[in-house]
Amino acid sequence: MARRPDLNSGPARLAALIRSAVPPMHPDGLPFVGVSLAVALAGRRNRWLRRAGLASAAANAAFFRHPQRTPPTRPGVVVAPADGLVCLVDEEIPPAELGLAATPLPRISIFLSVLDAHVQRAPIGGEVVSAVHRPGLFLSADLAAASTENERNSIVIRTPDGAEVVAVQIAGLIARRIVCDVRPGDKVGIGDTYGLIRYGSRLDTYLPAGSNVLVTVGQRTLAGETVLAELS
């Protein structure tokens, strides 16, 4: 009979500590890390090339990190769809391509720097009823104009109670690739990962009218955990 690993042993404890401290990587990062390691291997006789390849692999592994998150269990809350900095709290009309009513709704914008984890998570649980991509510009994501002018991908999630929350992935100055892994008809749970944006970006969340916004400009958020608002 095979022996079970002794979880109380030094090596086992160290391995468990590493697994808990180092987040896994999103699959989209594998090609970037792989190419970087290939460069390091090809240049193993060249100290500078080897170091550059290893540094690039480490940077990409860090950028595409996919940390585990535990969403709140109380009903009626909307969580942050992204890690980052709240850069705007206002009211605005949702993206026109979604075909929603042209009525201003509470909006919370989160700016993601290149140092933030760039996976996006569902702000609320329910059914994806719309997912629309719109080409656009690549202005700096921290500018207010980025919400209307930049390339974006918008989804609408409808809760079982009929409330609709809009999450908009917005490309930035460096970000040139938006990944959205959900389609209309898909069911998502609050905090589920549904996409990512490569290298610096912005996430806008539109809430139902009357929602109680709980964050302020300048506050940092953790995707899937920070409560942005309570639904009325």
The mean pLDDT value for 183-207 works out to 91
The yes-or-no verdict on residue 166 having pLDDT over 70 is yes
Count of CB atoms within 10 A of residue 183's CB? Answer: 10
CA-nearest of 150, 152, 129, 128 to 139 is: 150
Which of 123-127, 193-197, 221-225 is the least confident region? 193-197
DSSP assigned state of 224: T
> Per the residue annotation, which of 147, 201, 211, 232 is the catalytic one?
201
Distances (CA, A) of 135 to 81, 114, 150, 152, 201: 21, 22, 7, 7, 15
DSSP assigned state of 54: H
pLDDT in tens, 95-117: 999 999 999 999 999 998 878 88
| 69, 121 Cβ separation under 8 angstroms | yes
Mean pLDDT, the chain, whole residue set: 84
* Stretch (H or E) spanning 37: helix 30-42
The mean pLDDT value for 59-64 works out to 64
Catalytic residue status for 201: yes
CB within 8 Å of 164: residues ≥ 6 apart? 100, 129, 156, 157, 158, 208
pLDDT in tens, 24-59: 766 766 666 676 677 777 777 777 877 777 776 666
pLDDT in tens, 168-192: 999 877 655 788 999 999 999 999 9
Distance CA 33, CA 30 (A): 5
pTM for this entry: 0.78
